Structure 1
Amino acid sequence: MRKFVAGVLLVGPGGALLLQERDEHAPTFPNQWAFPAGVAEPGEQPLEVAHRELFEETGLRVAELTLFWEGPMPQSPLYGYLFHGRTTARQEDVVLGEGRAMVFVPPARIVDLDLAGYARPAVTDFLASADYQRHLRPPT
């Protein structure tokens, strides 16, 4: 199986997305913003990677993640899987496990961020999607 990366677009209170400000030590796209993500370890499946990376980078666990997109990663030689989910966690529940910051960012503020090349199209497409709109509805 080829190397791949899996990431998570996590929607929090008020429709904010959980985004990471990568630090100067990041091997790719240093000092830019992106969603929690990482490369698979041997034997892992995409959904397992998404759950593991979310927990390692934020300390958060969610019951359900759903595939939003898969394909060649823009500006990367890796194949990617991007999942989405919802959380009731608040900013004070987030544990910074990697990077400079891990912040719930309201959609209106995302346009002001220096998003990594692979993150910008994914975040833009997600915010315009029916999947994102479903996360804005109260849980049933």
Structure 2
Amino acid sequence: MQKFVAGVLLVGADAALLLQQRDEHAPTFPEQWAFPAGVAEPGEAPLEAAHRELWEETGLRVASLGPFWEGPMPASPLYGFLFHGRTSARQQDVVLGEGRAMVFVPAAQVLELDLAAYARPALTEFLASAAYREHVAAIAGN
């Protein structure tokens, strides 16, 4: 398989999404917001890459990630795989491994951010999806 990107749409305990503010050193879309993601290592499967990127960028591990989207990444020459999951982790559990910030952003504020071109369509679609509604319902049921 050619080089690809794997990313994670992670829903927190209060239904907020974990997003990264990229720093000025990011090779693409510096200082914009996106979800944890990165290029897979050679021989790595998409789901493995998503778990690794989440761990490297946030210090978080989740038991389960489900597929959300797959296809050419907008504004990028790379192919992408997006997974979604839920965590009970709080902001104080997040370890910034890359970028300027990694924070849980309330859903109502996500699309107001200066989002990277590849992140905006994915986040717009996810927030309107049955997958996100299922996470919200599960959180409300706890």
CA deviations on 1:71-93 (whole Å, 9 max, x unpaired) are: 00000000000000000000000
Percent identity of the aligned residues?
77
Q: Superposed, which structure 2 residues align to 1:59-70 within 5 Å?
A: 59-70=59-70
CA distance in 2, matches of 1:86, 1:94: 14
Structure 1 gaps, min length 5: none
> Helix, strand or coil: the match of 1:70?
strand
> Number of residue pairs matched?
140
Task: Judge conservation of contact 2:111–2:120 (CA < 8 Å) in 1.
Answer: no
Letter in 2 for 1:20: Q
Distance 1:28 1:46 in 2: 21
SS at match of 1:49: helix
Q: List 4+ stretches of structure 1 deviating above 3 A.
A: none
Write the distance in 1 (CA, Å) between the matches of 2:115 and 2:56: 21
For residues 1-140 of structure 1, the aligned pairs below 5 Å read 1-138=1-138
Unaligned runs of 5+ in 2: none
1:4-56 alpha-carbon deviations (Å, 9 max, x no partner): 00000000021100000000000110000000000011100000000000000
